[in-house]
Structure formats: structure tokens, C-alpha cells
Amino acid sequence: MPSNDSVKIALALIERDKSKILGLKVGTHTNVQPGTFIPKADAQSPPALTFGPLSPEATYMVVALDIDAPFPSFGVLGPILHWIQPDLKATPVDGPPSSPQQYSLSSTTPFVANYIGPAPPPGSGPHRYVFFLYEQPPSFEGHRFAPPNGQKLSNGRRIRYSLDEWEEEARLERVLAVNYFKSN
């Protein structure tokens, strides 16, 4: 199993500091809290992301993993990569004046790994789908890591995915925010 200390650190982060919870809107499920159960049919499209405070001048990246594949008690194939979207830009979202400024995150550039929705095997319990937000290094060039010509990333390149190795390869620093939902 690949080393994924980053996953453990990020999940511990949101247990200690609720301000580090990445905003997720998954299908019709808004304001998803860590561990919320979402039916897989509702999560087949990439979630909308929000977080604050962010810098509108910076660029961000999201990485999503299924950390319970193929079974929560037997993770021999996991984690499985579900999404890498670079070049996210922050746009202010209107909210209550007393609340910290929130930003929606979106990108018009190609993915590094296309989003795939939850698909645990029959008989498996719910899996945790974890979303990690990073500030993207200015020197990051997504096309260097993406499949050629906008092709979808193969399943073989998704299994036993090491977030630790990706952080090193992409030169990512500490995770800014994280959240997860469960699905089966």
C-alpha cells in the first residue's frame, strides 16, 4: 500500500480546526459536512467547491481520492484517484456580512485526472471520498501530467495512488482545506 501520511494529516486537520473544511456541493446536497452520506447516483458530477479565506490572485488545485477501495476493511487497491483539477481560481461569494469571506473555485482549463464518481463494488460498505485543496505552485504546468489530447486517465494510473508522491512531484505545500463524503 502506498504511503499516504498526507491523507491522515489532512483528515486530522478538520477534526481539530473546523475552519479548514472545504465547502462541497454535491448534486443537490449543499454544505456537505465531513462524513455525510451521499448516494452514488447523486455524486457522478464534480462537486462545486467553496472555501475562504483565499487570495483571488492565487491559483488552486483539488485532488480527490477514494481512501477505502476496494473495501473499507481491505484497502489493497486504494487509495483510488478520483480527480485532479488544477488552475482553480477564487471568486468571492456573497454571504452574511458577519461571516468570513467565502470564495467559489472553478477552472476552465483541462483536468490532470478527469473526475469519476463513486462506484464501490457490490457488497462493500460506504467508501470515503476525500477532497484536498492546495495552493498551486506558480510553476505548475498541468499539461505535463495530463493524458495527451484530453483523454481520460486510465484506471491503471488511478489505483494505489500516493498523495504523498503527488505532493512531491507537483511541489505542493500543505493542504489548505479538506472534506469528505461517504457513498456506496
Domain spans, the chain: 5-29+47-183
Q: Tell me the angle at which helices 163-170 and 5-16 cross, rounded to the nearest 10 degrees.
A: 90
pTM here is 0.95
**What's the grid cell of residue 6?**
498526507
**What's the grid cell of residue 113?**
485526472
Query: For cell 476496494, what's the residue?
Result: 70
Per-residue pLDDT tens digits of the chain, which is 184 residues long: 566 899 999 999 999 999 999 999 999 999 999 999 999 999 999 999 999 889 989 999 999 999 998 888 887 888 999 999 999 999 999 877 777 889 999 999 999 999 999 998 888 889 999 999 999 999 999 999 999 888 999 989 999 999 999 999 999 999 999 999 999 8
The answer regarding whether domain 5-29+47-183 maps to CATH 3.90.280.10 reads: yes
How many CB atoms within 10 Å of residue 120? 21
What span, in angstroms and rounded, lies between the C-alpha atoms of 15 and 158?
A: 27
Query: For cell 462506484, what's the residue?
Result: 119
